[in-house]
Amino acid sequence: MAGFDYDLFVIGGGSGGVRAARIAAGEHGARVGLAEESRMGGTCVIRGCVPKKLMVFASAVPDALVLGRDYGWTIPAARFDWPTFRARLDSELARLEAAYRGGLESAGVTIHDARATLADPHTVRLATGETFTAKHVLIATGGRPSLPAGLGAPVLTSNEIFLLDRLPETALVVGGGFIACEFAQILAGLGVRVTQFYRGEQILRGFDDDARAIVADAIRKSGIELLTGTDVAALVQEGASTRVTRTDGQEARFDAVIYATGRIPNSGGLGLEALGIALGPRGEVLVDGWSQTAVPSIFAVGDVTDRINLTPVAIREGHAFADTVFGARPHRADHDLVASAVFTRPELGAVGLTEAEASARGPVEIYQTAFRPMKTAFAGHPDRVMMKLVVDAGSRVVLGCHIVAPEAGEMIQLAAIAVKMGATKEDFDRTCAVHPTMAEELVTMRKVTRAHGVVAKG
């Protein structure tokens, strides 16, 4: 690949770009350059999954203390200190960023700490004025929070929550997706009085309806004022607070207003359209199954393509790209039956089709149970969990699994293996239960809860 400065130049130092660069250079011997204008690690490591999950852990402590008292422990009054947590969080993110950088350097990747744009199909221009040529270019610039125009007052997004000097006493969270629901409960768990607006009828659109209902109920029971069918009509800054007018005309003041109304691909200003690279309606870079754009030398992976916006998916896309282009091992990232988790309290884990999706395709049977888990039932708490299997009535293949429970994210990872392998309901039934656990319900449900499109026998 002589004649170019690099065999591969990666624009973006998030999970997908870093994996592609490291595999191309470290395993396949390619000459690789990578440009990142912000901190190495991207959304997941710096302002997404990792800091969010650490905040989830912190926010769950009050519930654990209450449960401990109900189990007979004498626990003194506790107080959360945000500066202490924030300092430790900053230190952990710095450690992870250094690990990402070190992994790239040990693989032989040349790092450029600057914004990069495309001058032509083989030329990258840095904000420093430098230009480099590459046989292949990979766009891995991720996504960013989407905000409505003309809000009328400053607001926060998920990017800024981790950078607060102090926690607000009151906060409004606008949105009903997983980011909004997670941060509403995080803030509430840390002692903030939280209100949540969602303009739709029910939160967590795209997840199973029964699971959505249980999570919504849990959010309300955690002390959050969750208002569906409600949106912001106007925002006015008044000193240190913001006056919010709802769509029904009612007003309230909040110390902080946080918008979590979706994310969009971070594709602007890269010079893509001038090169003939098509963008979708949300700004997503359009690629084929090999992550290749309409310009043969340019590829894209991760959230900037808006396929499945999850870190493990971006990593697999980046790895598949590197193996295919530089390792003579062509394969595509598999986007079928990807499990996901929402880190609310309780968590929601899902893989496969929802009941509504499956029933629209053909006859299905639903196996479902809801119960009070032993751990909190013993203490007299009203918490409920749910296990649900969506089964094809003909083939008996499990089309979907939905769990609402503490540690549902851990459970769904294992259940996803069986669903991905095409396990039938009878395969689940043949698996002996681990007792006493919540997850044993997945293999002990015998009676059909309801059916869709199934002709009654007899």
CB-side exposure of 211: number of CA atoms within 13 Å?
31
What integer is the mean pLDDT of 114-130? Answer: 98
- Rounded Cα distance, 376 and 396, in Å: 34
Reading the block at residue 180, the tokens are 């909004």
Residue 329's pLDDT is what? 97
What integer is the mean pLDDT of 38-67? Answer: 96
Residue 85's pLDDT is what? 97
Reading the block at residue 174, the tokens are 């606008």
Q: Phi/psi of residue 386, each to 5°?
A: -135, 140
What integer is the mean pLDDT of 376-387? Answer: 96
Residue 246's pLDDT is what? 97
Q: What is the pLDDT of residues 439-450, one digit of tens each?
A: 999 999 999 999
What integer is the mean pLDDT of 110-126? Answer: 98
Residue 132's pLDDT is what? 98
| Side chain identity at residue 252, one-letter code | A
Q: What is the pLDDT of residues 213-266, one digit of tens each?
A: 999 999 999 999 999 999 999 999 999 999 999 999 999 999 999 999 999 999
Residue 2's pLDDT is what? 61
Reading the block at residue 15, the tokens are 């999970």
Residue 413's pLDDT is what? 98
Residue 457's pLDDT is what? 61
For residue 365, give Cα distances in angstroms to 200, 224, 358, 391.
Answer: 28, 35, 9, 5
Report domain extents, the chain.
Answer: 6-144+264-326, 158-261, 340-452
CATH of 340-452, one of 3.40.190.10, 1.20.140.10, 1.20.1250.20, 3.30.390.30: 3.30.390.30
The CATH number of the structural domain formed by 6-144+264-326 is 3.50.50.60
What secondary structure letter does DSSP report for 424?
B
Residue 455's pLDDT is what? 76
Residue 454's pLDDT is what? 86
| Side chain identity at residue 428, one-letter code | F
Percent of the chain with pLDDT over 90: 98
* Sole residue written with tokens 């480099």: 132
* Residues 368 and 213 sit within 8 Å (Cβ to Cβ): no
Say yes or no to pLDDT of 458 above 60: no
The CATH number of the structural domain formed by 158-261 is 3.50.50.60
Residue 83's pLDDT is what? 97
Percent of the chain with pLDDT over 70: 99
Say yes or no to pLDDT of 456 above 70: no
Total Cβ atoms within 10 A of residue 277? 21
| Side chain identity at residue 268, one-letter code | G
Q: What is the pLDDT of residues 307-366, one digit of tens each?
A: 999 999 999 999 999 999 999 999 999 999 999 999 999 999 999 999 999 999 999 999
What integer is the mean pLDDT of 21-40? Answer: 98
Residues 6+ apart with CB under 8 A from 255: 168, 169, 170, 171, 240, 241, 242
Say yes or no to pLDDT of 1 above 60: no
The residue among 303, 315, 307, 300 whose CA lies nearest residue 137 is: 300
Q: What is the pLDDT of residues 349-372, one digit of tens each?
A: 999 999 999 999 999 999 999 999
Q: Do domains 6-144+264-326 and 158-261 have the same CATH topology?
A: yes
Beta-sheet pairing, 110-112 with 263-265? unpaired
β-strand partners of 370: 386
Q: Look up the pTM and report it.
A: 0.96
* Residues 175 and 261 sit within 8 Å (Cβ to Cβ): yes
Reading the block at residue 431, the tokens are 């698996």
Residue 214's pLDDT is what? 97
Residue 327's pLDDT is what? 97
Beta strands in 261-419 (DSSP E): 263-265, 298-300, 340-342, 347-352, 364-371, 385-392, 398-405
Q: What is the pLDDT of residues 400-435, one digit of tens each?
A: 999 999 999 999 999 999 999 999 999 999 999 999
Catalytic residue annotation: 435
- Rounded Cα distance, 110 and 25, in Å: 10
β-strand partners of 62: none
- Rounded Cα distance, 196 and 181, in Å: 8
- Rounded Cα distance, 352 and 337, in Å: 5
Helices 15-22 & 311-326, crossing angle to 10 degrees?
Answer: 30
Residue 416's pLDDT is what? 98
Mean pLDDT over the full length of the chain: 97
